[in-house]
């Protein structure tokens, strides 16, 4: 594994891990505590990715720890398999279990997902406790320790090395994953599923991928736990433990990988100190640890719901994309000759119950043209956009794009065909930098998957994607804010970010939904200039716009909608004079 991203920190960590436990400065008690912190960190890192980044909350991670622990427990105790050989088995079992559970749960929206995880989290706890083969409620004792040659890794200091090497590897893998192409897609999921889908991200698959990845980290933690504890019982795999892991991720700062370690350390030490300190303070009756633990949890949520890491260390650093070597470019899509028919809508119709939003509308777009789609509010312009880009299915009629029928269209397929779009209500990932938002547009132009990202083998491709994103930002005039968080930009700038992102797709047809709304005069002029430039390159533009000066000066042809029906079509000069259009906009002269 190459440590190109921030090689310094992992190396320092590695030295600390290999030396610290053997110096004798740390008592064994604390080394043991650190081992538990490390094991919990693995689970919490998975949760950071799942919850903080991907927006999926799981109370059930402890069950996956259980899968990892019980797999190695059963294989070593019942069949005498060597502990090192059970590691792949533990990971595989967890992966399969997470794949099956995830297939059912990750597509749930909103709060149903956490509720679902609570339910199966409890179910697995009782399952572990009732299978005799797994020792039922008493668990499996006598799990062998890890061995190197004949030497058993029993002493906490030796195990410390194993645990923390695993943690460091997990941190590197997770950082690599988040920085790469799949990582951007995952980070977009939580804030804007619509944008992610419009640029070709298969959201269900991406969510499942994160879910399985987080579960496998938990499975690894389970394997480490089993061989450190050398026995497993259902207790640590229930819903309370699952909540505790989630709390670690939230305490550290959901969304921050190092925060997970901080959170794991905070919670583990806190619980340990409460166990030591409270009986001494208040005598030995009652379960004060639980009372205090719950109270601390509530207080954290009330006073630091964004977690400790952002408070201590501020916002995340901007990304440092690699620079491309030589003159390498992303291959461009061949564009059709100007004037060839590109998009045909024939009697396209969309009805929402009794309301016909788009009523048998027909129009054509040829390549290398700017077509304006105008009409009063509620005319059905945005719905037409959504029909073309596959967000909504047609009720009847047909839409063809370069000969492909778009009937059973998904946003992802539309993106693959070269339809790049912007949104009427800006769809931007606010906590990601501007350039990463734009690079999301090039999602389909890269191919690096999860494994390539994790192993850091995606650098050359990433360099090309970012170079392209930078070029598009230059074109829209936002080069100087490329590395700012997108959330800090003004609305007009965000619209331009969306245009740059759509251009990053290397589109055949650009669909712009009110791109000039919120722009200042100078910005509008720059945008008009850009669109003319784009047209000159052979890209078509379908433009929904309310700013008549803007659209009239740009468009080759206008299509006018009113109450879902096409009422006029023609060159701007003719539309200006059209009595039907004037009546629709200004009301009839009776």
Partner 1 sequence: MDATIFLFLLQDGIINGAVYALVAIATVLVFAVTRVILVPQGEFVAFTALTIAALENGNMPSTPWLLLALGCLAAASELVRHFRELTVRRVTRIVLFDLALPIALLLLTRTLAPMKLGQVSNILLAIALITPMGPMIYRIAFEPIAHSSVLVLLMAAFGVHFSLMGLGLLFFGPEGTGTAPLSSASFSLGDLVVTGQSVAVLIVTALLLVLFALFFGRTLLGKALRACSSNRVGARLVGIPTSAAGQIAFALAALLGAVSGVLVGPLMTVFYDSGFLIGLKAFVAAILGGLVSYPLTVLAALGVGFAEALFSFWASNFKEVLVFTLIIPVLAWRSVYAPHAEEAE
Binding interface with partner 1 (CB under 8 A) = 51, 55, 57, 104-105, 107-112, 114-116, 118-120, 122-124, 126-127, 130, 190, 192-194, 203, 240, 243, 246-247, 250, 285-298, 301-302, 305
Answer whether 43's CB lies under 8 Å from 246's CB: no
- Strand bridging mode 341-352 / 396-401: antiparallel
User: Of the two residues 114 and 420, which places its CB atom closer to partner 1 in the complex?
Assistant: 114
CB of 282 to partner 1, least distance (A): 10
Q: Give the nearest distance from C-beta 213 to partner 1 in angstroms.
A: 20
Q: What tokens does 352 get?
A: 């929402």
Q: Residue 88 is encoded by which pair of tokens?
A: 């792949």
- Smallest distance, partner 1 to C-beta of residue 54, A: 10
Complex with partner 1: residue 29 or 112, whichever CB lies closer: 112
State which residue, 72 or 105, has the beta carbon closest to partner 1. Answer: 105
| CA distances in angstroms from 531 to 17, 416, 421, 570, listed in the order given | 56, 22, 14, 20
Closest CA to 513 of 503, 499, 523, 527: 499
Nearer to partner 1, 203 or 437 (CB): 203
Q: Cβ of residue 305: shortest distance to partner 1, in angstroms?
A: 6
SS3 for 120?
Answer: helix
Nearer to partner 1, 109 or 327 (CB): 109
DSSP state of 485: B
CB 237 within 8 A of CB 65: yes
**How long is the chain?**
590
Q: Which is nearer to partner 1, 296 or 444 (CB)?
A: 296
Residue 194 CB, shortest distance to partner 1, in Å, is 8
Helix (H) or strand (E) holding 345: strand 341-352
Q: How far is the CB of 86 from partner 1 (least distance, A)?
A: 25
Instruction: Compare residues 175 and 193 and give the one whose CB is closer to partner 1.
Output: 193
Number of H helices and number of E strands within the chain?
A: 23, 14
Q: Whole-number minimum distance, CB 256 to partner 1, in Å? A: 17
Provide, rounded to whole angstroms, the least separation between the CB of residue 497 and partner 1: 19
The rounded distance, in Å, linking the Cα atoms of 525 and 590 is 38
β-strand partners of 541? 370, 510
Least Å from the CB of residue 62 to partner 1: 13
Distance CA 502, CA 418 (A): 10
Separation between Cα atoms, residue 251 and residue 310, nearest integer Å: 10
What gap in Å lies between CA 186 and CA 55, rounded to an integer?
A: 9
* Residue with Cβ nearer partner 1 (250 or 510): 250
> Read out DSSP for 243-287?
HHHHHHHHHHHTT-HHHHHHHHHHHHHHHHHHHHHHHHHH-S-S-
Helix (H) or strand (E) holding 496: helix 491-504
User: Which of residues 298 and 536 has its CB atom nearest to partner 1 in the complex?
Assistant: 298
Distance CA 217, CA 47 (A): 9
């Amino acid at each position: 594994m190459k440590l190109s991203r921030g090689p310094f920190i992992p190396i320092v960590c590695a030295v600390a891990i290999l030396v610290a436990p053997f110096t004798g400065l740390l008592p064994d008690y604390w080394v043991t505590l650190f081992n538990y912190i490390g094991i919990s960190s693995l689970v919490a890192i998975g949760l950071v990715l799942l919850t903080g980044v991907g927006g999926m909350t799981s109370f059930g991670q402890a069950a996956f720890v259980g899968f990892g622990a019980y797999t190695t427990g059963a294989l070593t105790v019942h069949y005498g398999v060597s502990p090192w050989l059970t590691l792949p088995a533990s990971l595989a079992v967890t992966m399969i279990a997470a794949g099956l559970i995830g297939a059912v749960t990750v597509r749930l929206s909103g709060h149903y997902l956490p509720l679902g995880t609570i339910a199966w989290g409890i179910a697995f706890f009782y399952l572990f406790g009732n299978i005799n083969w797994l020792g039922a409620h008493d668990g499996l004792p006598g799990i062998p320790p890890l061995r190197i040659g004949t030497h058993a890794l029993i002493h906490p200091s030796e195990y410390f090395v194993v645990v923390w090497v695993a943690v460091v590897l997990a941190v590197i893998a997770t950082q690599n994953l988040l920085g790469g192409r799949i990582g951007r897609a995952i980070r977009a999921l939580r804030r804007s599923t619509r944008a992610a889908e419009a640029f070709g991200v298969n959201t269900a698959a991406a969510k499942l991928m994160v879910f399985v990845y987080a579960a496998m980290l938990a499975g690894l933690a389970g394997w480490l736990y089993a061989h450190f504890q050398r026995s497993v019982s259902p207790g640590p795999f229930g819903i309370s433990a699952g909540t505790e892991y989630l709390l670690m991720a939230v305490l550290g700062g959901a969304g921050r990988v190092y925060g997970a370690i901080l959170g794991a350390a905070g919670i583990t030490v806190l619980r340990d100190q409460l166990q030591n300190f409270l009986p001494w303070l208040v005598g030995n009756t009652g379960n004060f640890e639980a009372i205090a633990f719950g109270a601390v949890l509530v207080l954290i949520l009330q006073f630091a719901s964004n977690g400790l890491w952002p408070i201590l260390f501020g916002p995340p650093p901007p990304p440092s994309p690699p620079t491309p070597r030589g003159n390498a470019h992303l291959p461009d899509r061949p564009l059709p000759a100007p004037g060839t028919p590109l998009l045909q809508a024939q009697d396209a119709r969309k009805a929402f119950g009794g309301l016909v939003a788009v009523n048998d509308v027909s129009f054509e777009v040829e390549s290398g043209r700017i077509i304006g789609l105008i009409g009063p509010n509620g005319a059905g312009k945005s719905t037409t956009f959504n029909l073309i880009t596959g967000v909504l299915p047609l009720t009847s009629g047909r839409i063809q794009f370069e000969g492909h029928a778009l009937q059973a269209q998904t946003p992802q397929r539309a993106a693959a065909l070269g339809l790049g779009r912007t949104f009427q209500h800006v769809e931007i990932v606010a906590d990601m930098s501007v350039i990463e938002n734009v690079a999301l547009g090039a999602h389909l132009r890269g191919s690096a998957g999860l494994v390539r990202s994790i192993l850091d083998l995606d650098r050359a491709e990433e360099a090309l994607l970012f170079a392209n994103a930078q070029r598009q930002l230059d074109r829209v005039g936002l080069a100087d804010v490329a590395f700012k968080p997108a959330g800090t930009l003004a609305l007009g700038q965000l619209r331009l970010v969306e245009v740059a992102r759509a251009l990053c797709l290397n589109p055949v047809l650009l669909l712009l939904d009110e791109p000039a709304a919120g722009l200042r005069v100078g910005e509008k002029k720059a945008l008009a200039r850009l669109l003319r430039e784009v047209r000159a390159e052979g890209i078509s533009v379908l433009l929904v716009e309310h700013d008549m000066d803007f659209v009239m000066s740009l468009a080759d042809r206008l299509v006018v909608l009113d109450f879902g029906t096409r009422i006029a079509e023609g060159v701007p000069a003719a539309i200006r004079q059209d009595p039907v259009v004037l009546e629709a906009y200004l009301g009839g002269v009776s």
